Each structure stands twice: as structure tokens, then as C-alpha cells.
Amino acid sequence: MPHLVIETTANLGTYPKAQALKELAASLTAHPQIPVEADLKIRFVDVTDFVMGTAPEPRGFVHAELRLLSGRTPEAKSELAARVLEVLQRLTPRPAGVSVQLSVEVRDMDRAPYAKARIDPQ
Amino acid sequence: MPHLVIETTANLGTYPKAQALKELAASLTAHPQIPVEADLKIRFVDVTDFVMGTAPEPRGFVHAELRLLSGRTPEAKSELAARVLEVLQRLTPRPAGVSVQLSVEVRDMDRAPYAKARIDPQ
Amino acid sequence: MPHLVIETTANLGTYPKAQALKELAASLTAHPQIPVEADLKIRFVDVTDFVMGTAPEPRGFVHAELRLLSGRTPEAKSELAARVLEVLQRLTPRPAGVSVQLSVEVRDMDRAPYAKARIDPQ
């Protein structure tokens, strides 16, 4: 049930979301800790009203939050974060004059109360 | 102070949000662990740019995150998650040919630094 | 790497986001626990489909989530939450007849797997 949410600020220009979604899905599901490809859910969120610090220089960010059911090892978490960062770093546009920060958080989801269901296609 | 955030993917058709909000609020505030009805805050988030896994079959998801101030029992958490899932499972549209995954995370919010205030109507 | 996400419901009228972003950035970066001003990232999220509890009275909310890399003291967390709440309480519009709730969560981000990179301006 990994969830990945990626925020991108509006000043980065047209983000190649479709390509990023495809490459992130391929890279993450190739990791042994994400054995069921269908369980991985990745989405983008547009950030339009934001500020970074207090200096007037143009800044943008891409921030990813990867949520995993509790129990993964610290090594697996770091590896998965590195895979996310690699794709984002490669695909993030580089608008002239803008300083861009990329970050990836890995967050545990409590396994015990996690509930799920499936609606099969009709 | 429970917070509930529900993401729905755009390929599920018109989601009955108003009805879901009403039923979720009624179901959750009927639980003894949510004693003050006004404290429950539920919102929907539209997911337009997303991918689920790597297979080409049509897939959609509904994902809920329920945030509770720390201190609830594991039993209460599981019961609340089950109530959320019950409503979503009943009200989620079933578009032809789409495989839909529903999930509910329950997350603790650290009680100590949690800050709040109220602006009464004028 | 502090992240601050602020949700505001649509029934609060025009929220002074630009002013709030500026004042929040100034107030938080003045705290010794946020030493690098450029690291602070604040964004607003519009909440359009929501409900608060079950009563028919008009209600709105402003909810902030402050995410800090793990390791801050409880005192620092409470101080930072108070700074966020102070700005929001002062700048939140007071539409007639609407009861408004303000809240601030402080959440730890696991420091070990946190990954980041920087793209310098060209």
C-alpha cells in the first residue's frame, strides 16, 4: 500500500508529470519492498500559493512524501527515498534564475488500524 | 479534533461528496471516541494526476487519512477506520472496467504541541 | 527543512494569503530552531468540499500542519505552533455568522531516510 504524494510549485514551468509518474512507478516497483505493483499509488499536487523563506530571490520546490505500512527497515526506506529523488532530480525543469529544492520524506503508516477494500471491475 | 482527508481519483466519475460528508460525519460522531461533533473536520481532495502501479488496466482509488490526537486505543482506531471504509465502500461509484482500491489510514497527532483557537460568530 | 501546509475553507471569504505567507515566514525564521530561512516552505491549500460535525450552523476552519525533522524539543514545538497560531488568528477573516476553528499540528519527519537535493539557478 505505498502512497506517494508529490507537490510541485507553479514557478517550475510545465512539469513532466506523466513521464515522472511512469518512471517513479517503474523504479519503485522494481524494489523488493514493493512486491505488488498495483498497490503503489502516486499523485501530483499543484502548489500555487507558497513562500520559501524570507529572501526575495526566486525559489521553487518539489516535495515528495512516501508513506509505507510500518515495518520496513531503515535501509529499505533510504533506498526508496533515493529512487524517488533520482527521478525527480532528473525530470524537474530548471527555469532560469530559480533556485529549486527537492526533498523526500518517508513516513510510516500504522499497520494495525489500516483498512482497505477492493472494487473489482464490472 | 479529528481530521479526515479523503482523496478520490478523477476517473471514478461524479463522487457523491455531499452525501458522503453527511454520512461520514454521522457515523463517526456516533462513536464514543468522538464526543464533540463540531470538532470533526472532513474534506475531499480531487486527484487528477496520478498513477497506480505499472499495468495498463484502468485503476482508481479512494484514500482516507483519519488524524486523531494521540491517546486513542488500538480498538477505537480500528473501529473508526471501519466506519470510514463502510461509508466509502457503499458510496464510491463503480465505473465500468475500472478496478478501484479503497484504503483508510489512521494517524496520531502529537497532543502536546497541538494548538487551537476559536473565532465565535459575530 | 520545515514544511508548513495551511488549509483554509472556502467560506472564510478572501484569505490574505500573501500577507499570511510573509508574516508566517518572518515569525518562524526568527525562531532559533529554524536557522536557515531558505529551508522553510509554506503553502496554502483551498478546501472547497468539507463538513464540520453534524449541526447545520455555518462553520469554517483553518488547519496548519508543521512538519519538522525529528529531534526538536517539546518546548520548541510548542513555541513554533504558537507562532503559527498567532498569525492565523490575527489574519483569518471573520465572516458574519460563521464559527471558525483554528488548529496547528506539529509533526515529526523521520530524519534518517529524509533525502534532498538542490538545483542552483542557471
Residue C87 lies in a domain: yes
d(CA A43, CA B45): 12
Contact B45, B17 (CB under 8 A): no
d(CA C57, CA C97): 8
d(CA A54, CA C73): 24
Residue B86 lies in a domain: yes
- Bridge partners, residue B24, by sequence: none
Task: Provide the pLDDT for residue B121.
Answer: 86
Residue C77 lies in a domain: yes
Q: Please tell me whether residue A91 adopts helix, strand or coil conformation.
A: helix
Q: Which three cell numbers stand for residue C30?
A: 526568527
Q: Count CA atoms within 13 Å of residue B57 on its CB side.
A: 12
**B107: nearest Cα among C107, A118, A59:** C107
Cell 471504509, residue located: B85
Count structural domains, chain B: 1
Residue C114 lies in a domain: no
Position A7 pLDDT exceeds 80: yes
pLDDT class of A14 with cuts at 50, 70, 90: very high
ipTM of model = 0.96
CB contact under 8 A, A51 and C21: yes
Across the range B6-18, mean pLDDT stands at: 97
Task: Provide the pLDDT for residue A122.
Answer: 73
pLDDT class of B122 with cuts at 50, 70, 90: confident
Residue A25: which of B9, B51, B94 has the nearest Cβ?
Answer: B51
Q: Which three cell numbers stand for residue A90?
A: 532528473
Q: Which three cell numbers stand for residue B65?
A: 487519512
Task: Provide the pLDDT for residue B118.
Answer: 96
Position C121 pLDDT exceeds 90: no
Q: How many CB pairs under 8 A join A and B?
A: 109
Length of chain A: 122
Position A31 pLDDT exceeds 90: yes
Q: Which residues, including other chains, have CB under 8 Å from residue C22's CB and lie 6 or more apart?
A: A51, A54
C13-38 per-position pLDDT tens digit? 999 999 999 999 999 999 999 999 99
Subunits with 3+ Cβ pairs within 8 Å of A are B, C
d(CA A12, CA A93): 6
A36-85 per-position pLDDT tens digit? 999 999 999 999 999 999 999 999 999 999 999 999 999 999 999 999 99
pLDDT class of B109 with cuts at 50, 70, 90: very high
d(CA C114, CA B106): 22
Residue C53's domain comprises 3-109
Sheet holding C41-47, edge to edge: A50-52, C41-47, C3-9, C59-69, C99-109, B115-119
Residue B43 lies in a domain: yes
Task: Provide the pLDDT for residue B1.
Answer: 76
CB contact under 8 A, A38 and B61: no
Position A1 pLDDT exceeds 90: no
d(CA B48, CA B12): 11
Subunits with 3+ Cβ pairs within 8 Å of B are A, C
Across the range C98-120, mean pLDDT stands at: 97
Across the range B80-91, mean pLDDT stands at: 98
Task: Provide the pLDDT for residue C45.
Answer: 98
Burial readout C26-37 (b: 16 or more C-beta within 10 A, e: otherwise):
ebbbeeeebeee
Amino acid letter at B105?
E
d(CA C21, CA C87): 9
Residue A115 lies in a domain: no
Q: Please tell me whether residue B118 adopts helix, strand or coil conformation.
A: strand
B16-52 per-position pLDDT tens digit? 999 999 999 999 999 999 999 999 999 999 999 999 9
Residue B116 lies in a domain: no
Strands (E), chain B: 3-9, 41-47, 50-52, 59-69, 99-109, 115-119
CB contact under 8 A, B103 and A115: yes
C50-79 per-position pLDDT tens digit? 999 999 999 999 999 999 999 999 999 999
d(CA B88, CA C55): 21
Residue C47 lies in a domain: yes
- Residue A53: which CATH number? 3.30.429.10
Task: Provide the pLDDT for residue A66.
Answer: 98
A89-120 per-position pLDDT tens digit? 999 999 999 999 999 999 999 999 999 999 98
In C, which residues are within 8 Å of B18 by CB distance?
49
